[in-house]
Amino acid sequence: MKDPSRSSTSPSIIGEDVIINGHSHEDDNPFAEYMWMENEEEFNRQAIALVLKQFVFIAQIEEELWEEEFIERCFQEMLEEEEEHEWFIPARDLPQTMDQIQDQFNDLVISDSSSLEDLVVKSNLNPNAKEFVPGVKYLNI
């Protein structure tokens, strides 16, 4: 008896479809498998162009990352300077509640007019000077 698995799956070879040395008998050119080498230089140019495009893309991404890192460092240094010099920061330095505002008003001192007159008498300012108006240039003639 025949093995049913062999008979149903084995391909049938008909006359001229015999393959010798990896080439079918119908193949006239014995160098057909090497024909890809004909365009090897063009393939290499395309491959190099693709690699260069990828390199440029990676360089652009790397530059953007460096810029982001630089900006982040600048912001961090600015924050450190603000903390170091205790510059005015509204969120920190402005009073937040009405009680704090009321305390600041209570701390203000109202001076009497006699101390104001003493200040005018002891002043070094020129009482005959012209009044300053911003944006107006005065000519000394």
What tokens appear for 103 in the block?
């305390």
C-alpha–C-alpha distance, residues 104 and 74, integer Å? 36
Give the tens place of pLDDT for each residue, 20-29: 555 555 557 8
Matching residue, tokens 């510059």: 87
Q: How many CA atoms lie within 13 A of 42 on its CB side?
A: 4
Please check whether residue 94 is in contact with residue 104, taking contact to mean a CB–CB distance below 8 angstroms. no
Query: What spatial distance separates the first Cα and last Cα of the chain, rounded to whole Å?
Result: 135
pTM over 0.75: no
Q: Model confidence at 51, in pLDDT bands (50, 70, 90)?
A: very high
C-alpha–C-alpha distance, residues 112 and 127, integer Å? 22
Give the tens place of pLDDT for each residue, 55-105: 999 999 999 999 999 999 999 999 888 788 777 767 777 767 777 778 878
Does 8 score more than 60 pLDDT?
no
Residue 20's SS3 state is strand
The amino acid at residue 31 is F
Number of residues that make up the chain:
141
